[in-house]
Structure 1
Amino acid sequence: MRPNDRTEVRKTKRLKTKPVLLVMGLLLLGNVLWFIAWLIPNSGGTTETVAQVEGDAIRHEEWVAEMESRVGRESLEALVNERVMEAAAKKHDIQVSDEELELELALYRSATEATDQTFLGLNEEQMTKKIRARIILEKVLAKDIVVEETALKAYYEQNKTLYEVPTSYDVKAIFVSSQEEAESVRQELENGSSFDGLARERSIDASTAILGGSLGFVSANTTALDPNLVRAASELEPMAISQPLPLAEGGFAIVQVQSVSEGNAFSFDEVKAHIQRELALEQLPQSVTPRAFWEEFDASWLYESES
């Protein structure tokens, strides 16, 4: 492969988004895990009724068991992976600075498109934990691989636009069929209703309704969303509620910006360590996941017999 071809392949890999199933899986891990953790300590022996259908009760323990069967394995595996990576960081004396985390978050926000984002539906703390675990894994794998300074600088110059991160907005939206419905939704929000709750109840876009209306991070470069939504995101103050927005393909939306992340043009020195890991990992014969380190750190779990 020629050097320029390698650069183009790497650039494509960097900007590629994840499949929808992976997005939904991570959503379940992030948003359901904490709920299960809250429920389970109180579930021992309880016969509390949580729902009824024609007088037939659904018990608390049935509810918890059903959630555990659906997402329990994936949730627990994510927790074990994070703990294993923390153990690896301690063993190899690996540090992850706030600056490194902020860089990775910024690059993530700028390199993904709206609802295709890998961490869609996760809050900042959950995202940071997952990114921290990934950085530790990359540092462990790359620690013995030498990359020449000239190669690092060449990569930076060839891919400088990747490190010019635009201002991004964490956006939620409720999609409805008419302006009248949009006005009704806006009034409910003004009266104190939860945006997440109303999105799940009223939004006609099922893929974002289940996420409490989350569209992920939006910037001026976002092309996967209606231009009116992108423009509204850049004009709204954080937590303010938009007026009903007409959409190009019909219908209306109510938009709320959760937070704003200011853009930045990162210098070579700021991204040098990141590039070193990127190029070092390209030299590995195959991808490696945290699961490869479970035996080294004596990790075990209740699904052992199924592994």
Structure 2
Amino acid sequence: MNSTRNPRRNPTTPNQTPLSQRRLKTKPVLAILAILLLGNVLWFISWLIPDKGKEIGSDEQVAVIDGDVITRQDWMVAMEDRYGKETLQNLVNESVMEKAAAKFKIKVSDKEIDLELALMRSAQDKFDTAMQNLSDEQLRQKLRSQLILDKVLTKDVGIEESSIKKYYEENKALYNIETSYRTSVIEVDSKKKADEALSELKDGSDFSVLAREISIDSASASLGGDIGFITEKQENVDEAIIKAAIGLSDGDVSKVIKLDNGHYAIVQVQEVAKGQSFTYDDVKEHIERELALEQVPQHVTPEAFWSEFKATWYYGEEKK
């Protein structure tokens, strides 16, 4: 959030984990960033599908501009042209990974997905923009597919337990996760505007819609005010925002606050993720898998398994 974040402090201050030591924890984020973005598109396209009984090629009007009509068919064709290939690829990849899990007898538990979610939320990187508008179910499915792929790739790679224990002992701080707050902000340049915005919210206006309309922080405004998960000790977010957020529960909206840059803001907490501490037994398999991934070919994607599971698609090409 450009207009509300303070300059970053020295990254090597005591009690702050160096970026190089965070690598294992954040690696799954980089691997699934692209397909998570496609999840949004899949949801949006599914929403566009007409009600049962209507033809997809219907001439139903969805917009009119100075007499020019845009039909549902026009809309659907445009969506398929822009996003159809990527969305279909995402669906095929998920199906292929499920086939791989069955073939290699791979299991992915809810507990494992919960761990990956907690680690991602504490990574404090730009992953949160990819999570925007993803339902919990969509996000968990993406993580499940990635975990299956990782387990397939590392099933024959052995890691000494001493290496796993050594990494855990050297990086225990990574697995003591603070409570974090999924936060949205509306930022304006005067208290009067902030008071007016708060009044609108109390009258029932949607926070994300209002943020897109009036917030002067362009980075967060484009996401409906969403700045992702923040923690009490976060160093790159205005302290006033942090103080406001940690006093709120899910769905609550703060009073008007003043920011360090002289602007005013309103904060909403969408979700509170309680802090967790993970023991060696909790994260042993996670660390082992991440260390093993260092020993397998890089940039392996689900497409590498399409041929094995006879997957084809109909965009004028066949994956081999």
TM-score range, shorter chain: 0.7 to 0.9
Of 136, 141, 147, 2:159 maps to 147
What displacement does 1:265 show?
A: 1.6
Are residue 36 (structure 1) and residue 45 (structure 2) matched? yes
Write the distance in 2 (CA, Å) between the matches of 1:104 and 1:232.
27
Which among 9, 15, 21 is matched to residue 11 of structure 1?
21
Query: Residue 3 of structure 1 aligns with which residue?
Result: none
Q: Please provide the CA RMSD for this pair.
A: 2.7
Contact 2:185 2:226 in 1 (8 A): yes
Q: CA deviation at 1:110?
A: 0.6
Q: Equivalents in 1 of 2:61, 2:128: separation in Å?
A: 37
| 2:309 alignment counterpart | 297
Q: CA 1:80/1:97 → structure 2, altered by over 3 Å: closer, same or farther?
A: same
Q: How many residues align?
A: 299
> Whole-Å Cα distance in 2 between the matches of residues 176 and 17 of structure 1?
36
For residues 72 and 169 of structure 1, the distance between their equivalents in structure 2, rounded to whole angstroms, comes to: 34
Distance 1:207 1:26 in 2: 22
1:117-266 map, 5 Å: 118-266=130-278
Higher mean alpha-carbon deviation, 173-182 vs 290-299, is at 173-182
Structure 1 segments, 4+ long, off by >4 Å, are 15-20, 25-28, 114-118
Letter in structure 2 aligned against 1:237: S
Report which stretch shifted further, 163-172 or 202-211: 202-211
Offset, 1:254: 1.6
TM-score by length of 1: 0.87
Q: Helix, strand or coil for the counterpart of 1:57?
A: strand
Amino acid at match of 1:105: L
Instruction: Give me the TM-score of the superposition, normalised by structure 2.
Output: 0.84
- Counterpart selection for 1:277 from 268, 278, 289: 289
Structure 1 unaligned segments of length 5 or more: list them.
Answer: 1-7
Unaligned runs of 5+ in 2: 1-17
Look up the match of 2:108.
Answer: 96
Q: Which residue of 1 aligns with 2:15?
A: none
Does structure 1 conserve the Cα–Cα contact (< 8 Å) formed by 2:251 and 2:271? yes
Distance 1:133 1:275 in 2: 18
Give the letter for the 1:13 counterpart: R
More helix by share: 1
